[in-house]
Structure 1
């Protein structure tokens, strides 16, 4: 996966970081855009999703435990 592949999602852990949270469900994380209603960010490519989530965790995006 190249940096260019992540660029479409970079705002989730940079400029719009405070608008996002990660919901932990078991061993997985789901990126959620806060709002009314909150919206799930579905990333169909598992490898890409793992990279995005890793970036969000490293940047300190809030984690909500739903386990």
Structure 2
């Protein structure tokens, strides 16, 4: 019997509203507001925030715990 090797897709450096919504269990619209809130907070702390159409750097999302 052959076993299929399960390959995980590499995670993107950015996280979008769909993934935030899935992770937090909120609507897509609310996920956009979470992303904006985190981006604004990080920008105030001096981080360089690339604005890629309502996305967030994955490491910043993980660093803040999605709050």
Same fold (TM over 0.5): no
Q: Which has the higher helix share?
A: 2
Could you say which structure has the higher strand fraction?
1
